[in-house]
Amino acid sequence: MGLNTPAQAASYGTPTITLSASYLSGAVGATSDPTVTVTIGQSGADVSALTVAASATSKSSVAGTGDVVVTGTGASRTVTVAAKAQGYTNLTLKVTGLGGKTATRTLNYAASPAVQYGPQTRYFTGSSDASAAVDAGGGYVIVADDESNVLRLYSRSVSGAPVKTWDVGDALGADKEIDIEGATRVGNTIYWTGSLGNNKDGEYKADRNTVFTTTVSGSGASTALTVGGSYGKLRDDLVAWDKANGNRYGFAAGTADGQVPKQIDGFNVEGLEFAPGSTTTAYLGFRAPLVPPKNGGKALIVPVTNFDKVAGSGAKAVFGTAIELDLGGLAIRDIRKNAANQYLIVAGSWAADDNSDPYALYSWDGVAGHAPVKKLDLPTSDAGGWEAVVDVPDLSVSGAQAQLITDDGSADLYGDGTDAKDLAHVEWKKSRATWFTLNP
């Protein structure tokens, strides 16, 4: 035994180290990036005497060992990484125990580039295709995904994975994606709608022709959901209604076999919200068609006057008079109102090119014949298309803020040419949530 070796060294076991996740996503310049929990131990040693640090990196230009911060003193330590550049790196995390014994684990890290409004941005990981959102109260939000039938509960204030998930497919008898695109809440009932359109290949898929409800219990991190009623013929009802009114909106042609939904004369629903003061009449906001179907056309809303019964108990839909809104040639990507019947509309292109076409945020009072007012142009230089607004603040208050969420499914987040929806690890998939000040 060496002169400098503690007499009890032989009694120390080999340290242990485990990670809460082996894959982690971050962003350059991000605030409150996702973290990983490291759990350590060593037999014969007080865990507070163990140290954890990054000992190596495979690509220091993305994140070096000095960009890894470990906090905590107990058996669980928190690892935070500050990205320097877009890309991937493998970080070696090493625990050093007593007796000079060590153990390592690899953290596979991916960094997306800096974005505008970085300090106001959070990242919801585990999915990249956010498509609709509903406030759950207590600082949490329920987010739908148009590539699966999973609803996810996130904290609105920090980046990271969902705290709860609900796969509603089995309860709804849906084998394929419902393509959830719109949602709204009345009391403890959340109403959801699929896009109702064909798939990207112009094929009819019955599961997309679904509207349904979920019942909420609890709030915040304790939110629970149960599936309620559903209806699978709203698209059929819309086509029949339009035919009876002279095919004004071309719904029959827009839903024909081979018709791609994201065309200026296509058929695609993305917004859902109730009319002012109503819990029965809901507005369906269309991404396509524009009216008329040409550049500069107006956005379309079709009221369903018994939507509570349509989604809640499968009643045949009854329609009111359609509303056409001038959104500067843009279509409806989401629509949301508050208790004072102040609406926000996320306006975007009918086209599928989400990462370059213009987006804007409009306010409206929900009254047919009243014009919406542009609040701001939304940034488009960053990857992802603006897809959902969580809730609507009092729009008369100076400094009022609204949180919007992007669909990043087609985004190349890490610079390797891979669409986010196709990434191999769910921890690397993410959508972006940003707070915007509406009345500076």
Give the per-residue pLDDT at 356.
73
Can you tell me the distance from the alpha carbon of 190 to that of 143, in angstroms, rounded to the nearest whole number? 12
What distance in Å separates the CA atoms of residue 80 and residue 103, rounded to the nearest whole number? 19
For residues 152 and 26, membership in a common domain is answered with: no
Tell whether 1 is covered by a domain: no
Look up residue 66 and give its DSSP letter.
G
Judge whether 30 lies within some domain.
yes
**190 and 47 belong to one structural domain:** no
Q: List residues bridging with 344 in a β-sheet.
A: 336, 363
pLDDT of residue 327: 98
Full domain range(s) for residue 99 = 14-112
The distance from CA 428 to its chain's CA centroid, rounded to whole angstroms, is 14
Q: How far apart are CA 14 and CA 41, in angstroms?
A: 9
- Do 279 and 360 have their domain in common? yes
What integer pLDDT is reported at residue 439 of this predicted model?
A: 83
Domain assignment present for residue 424? The answer is: yes
The total number of structural domains in the chain stands at 2
Q: Are residues 288 and 415 in the same domain?
A: yes
Same domain, 226 and 278: yes
3-state secondary structure of 279: coil
412: domain CATH number is 2.115.10
- The pTM (predicted TM-score) of the whole model is 0.95
Q: Is residue 226 part of a domain?
A: yes
Residues 72 and 143 in one domain: no
82-105 pLDDT per residue, tens: 999 999 999 999 999 999 999 999
Low-confidence ranges of the chain (pLDDT < 50): 1-7, 9
Residue 171 and residue 142 share a domain: yes
pLDDT value, residue 357? 86
Q: Distance between alpha carbon 107 and the CA centroid of its chain, in Å? A: 25
Q: Are residues 188 and 42 in the same domain?
A: no
Tell which of 71, 87, 112 closes a domain. 112
The confidence score (pLDDT) of residue 1 equals 39
* pLDDT given at position 10: 59
Task: Write down the pLDDT at residue 37.
Answer: 98
Are residue 88 and residue 173 in the same domain, yes or no?
A: no
105 and 135 part of one domain: no
User: pLDDT, tens digit, for every residue of 328-364?
Assistant: 999 999 999 999 999 999 999 999 776 678 999 999 9
Give the gyration radius of the chain's Cα atoms.
Answer: 25
In this structure, is residue 94 part of a structural domain? yes
Assess whether 326 and 187 both reside in one domain: yes
346 touches 389 (CB < 8 A): yes
Residue 42 phi/psi, 5-degree rounding, is -160, 125
Provide the pLDDT for residue 230.
98
- Phi-psi domain of 250 (left: phi exceeds 0; alpha: psi -120 through 50; beta: other): left
Last residue of a domain, one of 112, 133, 155: 112
Residue 384 backbone dihedrals phi, psi, to 5 degrees: 105, 150
CATH of the domain at 90: 2.60.40.1080
Contacts of 25 by beta carbon, 8 Å cutoff, 6+ apart:
34, 109, 110, 111, 112, 123, 125, 413, 427, 428, 429, 430
Residues with Cβ within 8 Å of residue 119, at least 6 apart in sequence: 31
Among the three residues 56, 78, 112, which one is the final residue of a domain in this structure? 112
Whether residue 277 sits in one domain with residue 158:
yes
Helix, strand and coil content of the chain, in percent to the nearest 5, comes to: 10, 40, 45
